[in-house]
Amino acid sequence: MGNLLKVLTREIENYPHFFLDFENAQPTEGEREIWNQISAVLQDSESILADLQAYKGAGPEIRDMRNPAIQNDFSYYRRTISRNRINNMHLDIENEVNNEMANRMSLFYAEATPMLKTLSNATMHFVSENKTLPIENTTDCLSTMTSVCKVMLETPEYRSRFTSEETLMFCMRVMVGVIILYDHVHPVGAFCKTSKIDMKGCIKVLKEQAPDSVEGLLNALRFTTKHLNDESTSKQIRAMLQ
């Protein structure tokens, strides 16, 4: 990660042409506290996914579930809980979702891409709460991460150093996620001519992959970004995302 910091502080002249080793990155002592916090969350999420994968009751349905189905099932759960309360039926209090959490879950799943929307809101909140920091501090970091991921994906020398296809997918997800964050935070977005993100290059990299593996990422750019349909967006970029 030291190379990335050097890029952000302009200490590397050939930005962004370097390899960022996602697979073997380790925290420094200064980063360890945040690293430990994130690791705990990721381990918890892996445990939840493992429970879902091991569940035998409705395995195919869970794997095929999308946001509308989750919302419908969750609404049914809430109605069932309400009826049980009215009828004074025995409830498993320990496993019941309280009203506050249920409302938050409903709002979360109401979004087309809940996690990206949450990240966008958190980034925008950070920018609005830290008005003394130049917005370029945030947008430059985001555009740099996008460029680094794009270069690693389109350069055979770098791409061949990844040991698994999952890392390539991770790199593409990071690139798309950071583009969406940039588009929400930057005043004129990621698609205008003055953007520091090479949108044509990023879309081209995605379209060179197997269609089934990137359709969700392309849809995220189509439907989760803020400025795609602005007049300042070139017709060529719009055509690439149709």
Model pLDDT for residues 124-155, shown as the tens digit of each residue: 898 889 889 898 888 988 998 898 899 889 88
pLDDT(32) > 60: yes
Peptide bond into 134 cis (omega under 30): no
Number of other CB atoms surrounding residue 195 within 10 Å:
21
| R_g over Cα of the chain | 21
- Whether 225 and 188 have beta carbons less than 8 Å apart is answered as no
pLDDT(8) > 50: no
Percent of the chain scoring above 70 in pLDDT:
83
**Gap between the Cα atoms of 220 and 223, Å rounded:** 5
User: How many residues belong to the chain?
Assistant: 242
Tens digits of per-residue pLDDT, 160-214?
888 888 889 999 999 999 999 999 999 999 999 999 999 999 999 999 998 888 9
- Whether 230 and 191 have beta carbons less than 8 Å apart is answered as yes
- Whether 185 and 123 have beta carbons less than 8 Å apart is answered as yes
Mean model confidence pLDDT for the chain: 82
Tens digits of per-residue pLDDT, 208-237?
998 888 998 999 899 889 999 999 999 999
- Whether 161 and 168 have beta carbons less than 8 Å apart is answered as no
241 pLDDT band, cuts 50/70/90, is very high
Region 109-138 average pLDDT? 86
- Whether 158 and 197 have beta carbons less than 8 Å apart is answered as no
Per-residue confidence (pLDDT) for residue 46, from 0 to 100: 85
Per-residue confidence (pLDDT) for residue 80, from 0 to 100: 81
10 pLDDT band, cuts 50/70/90, is very low
pLDDT(63) > 90: no
58 pLDDT band, cuts 50/70/90, is low
pLDDT(2) > 80: no
